Amino acid sequence: MAVIDRNGNFLSSENKSRIFSQENILKFLYNTIEGRILLKVLTLPLFSEGVGMFMDSRFSKFLIKPFVKRNNISLSDYYTDDIKTYNDFFTRKIKPEMRKIDKESRSLISPCDAKLSVYNIDSNSTFEIKGSEYSIYDMIENKKLAKKYNNGLCLIFRLEVTDYHRYCYFDSGYKSSNMHIKGELHTVNPIAFRKYNVYKRNSREYTLLHTRNFGDAVQIEVGAMMVGKIKNHHGKCYFTRGQEKGMFLFGGSTIVVLLEKDKASIDDDIIKNTLNGFETAVKYGEKIGTSTKKYD
């Protein structure tokens, strides 16, 4: 799926040589007998945890400079004084002035830097994303809660490894405890969808958010291959718009937000892009829609 920014410009978000190399590796893993045998090991949480331990060690620091150079990352946008490991770098905190939060109460903001697609949830709560059909129940394994989002909206935020990997609350309110669903950690690259229902099998964590302006929403953080941890900062608590909710450690990842029927209107450019088969590049704190709540 191609990516378009908010001005209608097509984006080339990844280095071509890196894509070629990555695609070859994924084709081997998903399309050959030997690769699928290796994949069974690679997708075990234990393996991902081992990779995570290495990324948390000082031995991983040598990976940072090549990554920065290859992806033309401006480190001046981030706090870098305490970076001692690759995961320190991967979860580096951006300077506030680089991600301004839309504070307007009616504005629905993006919880993260990502490539966004938006879908209606049909009467059967099943729909197709990147060639993989699944139900809301598959995502959260809670039939009663899944039913609440009949005819609502499903927002898919796909993060690449070059994106900022911290995420925030998109409105103010209070939240339930974090519900963790254990699973295998598959890549979110589209090639995986040819063999596996990736979202259904991935490790994920979801939270019910009782928001001030958008009703009861569900936010689901989905771990991808090599992501050992989804790190949410809070259990049950009150939260405020733009407050950091958590972060992903090493790897590309996905956030899914479920909104009830008639709680928000998504910006026209995002809807149009999704209907035309394009993702829209959005930024942490940026307006992506408007509340339909009646205000006095």
Proportion of the chain above pLDDT 90, given as a percent: 52
Q: How remote is the C-alpha of 257 from its chain's centroid? A: 9
* Domain match, 128 and 265 both: yes
Query: 26-73: per-residue pLDDT in tens?
Result: 676 667 777 777 777 766 767 767 777 888 899 999 999 998 998 888
Query: 251-294: per-residue pLDDT in tens?
Result: 668 899 999 999 999 999 999 999 999 999 999 999 999 999 88
- b/e sequence 159-179, b meaning 16+ C-beta within 10 Å: bbbbbbbbbbbbbbbebeebb
Report the pLDDT value the prediction gives residue 19, as an integer from 0 to 100. 45
Question: Is residue 2's pLDDT more than 90?
Answer: no
Report the pLDDT value the prediction gives residue 149, as an integer from 0 to 100. 94
Query: 190-215: per-residue pLDDT in tens?
Result: 667 666 666 566 778 999 999 999 99
Is 113 noted as a catalytic residue in this protein? yes
Count the alpha carbons within 13 Å of 165 in the hemisphere toward its beta carbon.
23
User: Residue 8 is encoded by which pair of tokens?
Assistant: 């209608």
Residue with the bigger pLDDT between 131 and 53: it is 53
Question: Is residue 75's pLDDT more than 60?
Answer: yes
* Residue 7 included in any domain: no
Q: Specify the amino acid at residue 295.
A: Y
* Domain match, 38 and 165 both: no
Q: What is the DSSP string of 145-175?
A: HHHTTTT-EEEEEEEPTTS--EEE-SS-EEE
* Domain match, 176 and 47 both: no
Q: Catalytic: which of 48, 110, 253, 291?
A: 253
Report the pLDDT value the prediction gives residue 250, as an integer from 0 to 100. 75
Tell me what the pLDDT averaged over the chain comes to.
84
Tell me the whole-structure pTM to 2 decimals.
Answer: 0.85
User: Residue 42 is encoded by which pair of tokens?
Assistant: 């690679």
CA-closest candidate to residue 242, choices 104, 61, 44, 138: 104
* Domain match, 150 and 278 both: yes
User: Residue 73 is encoded by which pair of tokens?
Assistant: 């990352």
Q: Catalytic: which of 56, 88, 113, 163?
A: 113
Given 69, 90, 111, which residue is the final one in a domain? 90
* Domain match, 201 and 281 both: yes
What's the burial of 12, exposed, middle or buried (CB within 10 Å: 0-12/13-18/19+)?
Answer: exposed
Report the pLDDT value the prediction gives residue 56, as an integer from 0 to 100. 87
Q: Which long-range contacts (CB under 8 A, 24 or more apart) does 66-69 make?
A: none
- The Cα 67–Cα 270 span in angstroms is 30
Q: Which residues span the domain enclosing 108?
A: 100-291
Count: domains in the chain: 2
* Residue 9 included in any domain: no
Distances (CA, A) of 65 to 18, 75, 143, 162, 228: 16, 11, 46, 13, 22
Residues in the chain: 296
* Domain match, 118 and 258 both: yes
